[in-house]
């Protein structure tokens, strides 16, 4: 057993915008009956700030016959990940060259030489140090901030605003597609996993 999550990350929201946009989306979800307005202790590590599934949450998911948790809104600088395992590969935003991040003969083990610079850049991103977030590409030699590299299977997403649905079955594509317009046309990334 474990807890499953699906997170929709707004990768364009700034630190200043995140709280306002998060509240706007929650107001929409409450109005639709997808989550409850009153925060409660319904999600893992939610500190009582989760929003339990509302009476019409079935309109957001493929199958509403299972037990369900609720929504937790992350506001603030966050590296979102898929919960378990290790990223397999990452693609340069300049030249589209792909860097493998695991050992060829032991694909469950990180390749420390390839992964090291990204690990350091992620730490830089966490600390808000813009210069330390840059990683140079081995193919084209240009550098890009770690949050602009494209992670295989959307293993990581970097942002200031994310919506995590705990223990809901697969979100409907049409539901996920409604987030971007409600976030002012911001790009969104969906990732999921298990803890
Ligand atoms: Zn490159």
> Is 4-81+155-194 in CATH node 3.30.310?
yes
Kindly list the domain boundaries of the chain, sorted by start residue: 4-81+155-194, 89-154
What's residue 59's pLDDT? 93
Residue-wise pLDDT for 102-112, tens only, equals: 998 988 889 99
Distance 93 CA to ligand 1 centre (A): 7
Distance 151 CA to ligand 1 centre (A): 14
- 156-166 β-sheet, strand order: 51-52, 70-81, 156-166, 4-10, 188-194
Residue-wise pLDDT for 3-20, tens only, equals: 889 999 999 999 999 999
DSSP strand pairing (51-52 vs 70-81):
antiparallel
Residue-wise pLDDT for 158-176, tens only, equals: 999 999 999 999 999 999 9
Distance 145 CA to ligand 1 centre (A): 12
Distance 71 CA to ligand 1 centre (A): 37
What's residue 1's pLDDT? 59
Distance 98 CA to ligand 1 centre (A): 8
């Amino acid at each position: 057993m474990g807890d499953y999550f699906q997170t929709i990350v707004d990768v364009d929201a700034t630190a200043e915008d995140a709280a306002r946009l998060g509240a706007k989306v929650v107001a929409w979800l409450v109005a639709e009956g997808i989550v409850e307005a009153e925060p409660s202790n319904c999600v893992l590590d939610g500190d009582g700030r989760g929003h339990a599934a509302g009476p019409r949450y079935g309109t957001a998911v493929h199958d509403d016959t299972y037990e369900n948790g609720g929504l937790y809104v992350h506001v603030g600088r966050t590296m979102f990940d898929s919960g378990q395992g290790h990223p397999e590969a990452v693609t340069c935003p300049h030249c589209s060259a792909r860097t493998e991040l695991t050992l060829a003969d032991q694909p469950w083990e990180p390749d420390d030489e390839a992964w090291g610079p990204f690990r350091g850049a992620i730490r830089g991103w966490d600390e808000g140090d813009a210069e330390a977030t840059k990683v140079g590409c081995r193919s084209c030699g240009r550098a890009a901030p770690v949050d602009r590299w494209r992670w295989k299977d959307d293993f990581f997403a970097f942002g200031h605003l994310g919506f995590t649905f705990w223990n809901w079955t697969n979100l409907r594509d049409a539901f996920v597609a409604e987030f971007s317009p409600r976030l002012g046309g911001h790009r969104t990334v969906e990732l999921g996993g298990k803890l």
